[in-house]
Structure 1
């Protein structure tokens, strides 16, 4: 596998690429755009894989996703990937003003239509007739040529993971993923989806790793990792994951603390077991040992050292990104 990181900006990225970081990813939110950041990533890197992990699938049409990728491919051939996520029901409905029902079925068609645009040869019409999209495009300009850019889906629960195996090239794992969740839930679901579609090639695996390393103040890094875990687990979408691990008690506590606005109590509700199974944090030496121990639970292809972002200032996130460079050789390349 190769290690990567969320886009840390030009200066850190250049140092990171020299140190051996092999991939950078970006994403969407109300104050940043996945494809604008991807353009910076293409311009400011030389050999690393680059792509959204994730872009909001329904904030743009399949045409818009494909067109952005086609333009950026010209400057970074062979280095792009596309990670898509459905986003929450309310984000689709209230932010984007788009239909929010049946996200799993909808994203499966979205992948198909993006591929139709990316795989088009010159002179070909792009046609697609489905439940959510109907495309009949006759682009009379020599701008096409097949592009095989990998498309991955953010697959947390079983149905989306199976859909990733069935229609996409792989899956992007969440920062909460543990050894058990990868091996007992996600990988079997991806394989089940691939088998249903008659696929034989192995699905790609990318995944986030909550990483906070600070040799001068390891207790602060550990606290930031606990707070990030707690914030993620306030979301009820992850209840099957919580039940799988038997963590209902502490998660109930942290959700109560979150509703009360008590961030310290929210972080304190994250048990040592949860921290050990999910995060890589503390001193450099401790983080390296954790990575070695968790080698079998990391994504097979790309693992992103993801600094905690919840109530963490940009400067500290940058420091965490820089500190994570000392972890790149902690896991043998064959893992």
Structure 2
């Protein structure tokens, strides 16, 4: 037994190291993807959707609080890829780690479930995980950059706002997608593949047209999103929302479609309003539909159990060879005749 315990104790640090490296790699890769498309506000470059925050929160919800060193390590490598880090890198790492950790702690205290099967879970992710917790990361990061002299204090609030919104959009769009992906148990049945393929084809055709059309047709995405939520719940709505957000971000950074002729601030506002409404619609509508479906299944199961219990009681009240009271009276009446 002592040898087995010793082996496990030696394996645990190795397991933590592998886990930290895996989380850091995912964080870094997501950050590099987000940096492919950037916008400039008041001289500061930012990503409209920062997927690393969504990856970090998903890792914390699935692996637990022990994976936070991987988040800090991934943030360090990401900062290192952008240039030579200075003393302000410590504040950046603290802010990048503190936001997702605060989100995890608040969600855990609120009884959050990673299957997002209740409306309560969707609301907690929106207001606690995204809007509230990302205040911490945005504030710490922007204050650090201002104190380091890399940003002007006069531009604090505009830069803080876009930083906060970018982190929040990462949580709203990426975290539910990853939770659904990690929680998938089996592919859809064969009877649903035709509808799944139809949804994929419609999304591949409609979303690029809606985001790049000069008619400002972003609203065309919502019927597709509602269809995905009604028929496939989170497994359909969150990939559609993420795809639409990516296409809208590409259109915004290219200055085409609904974003033609707008200033940088107007592009940022329009894009983030679209991304926010898209994420809220997909997340909350899917959560409501899933909760109603689970309630219906629970009622049906309770009715089935009640029917089986009544059948069992009836079998005990009328054992074999003994007729029920009404049948016994009918037989006596026939015998008297």
State the TM-score, normalized to the length of structure 1.
0.28
Q: Which structure: larger Rg?
A: 2
Structure with greater helix share of residues: 2
Structure with greater strand share of residues: 1
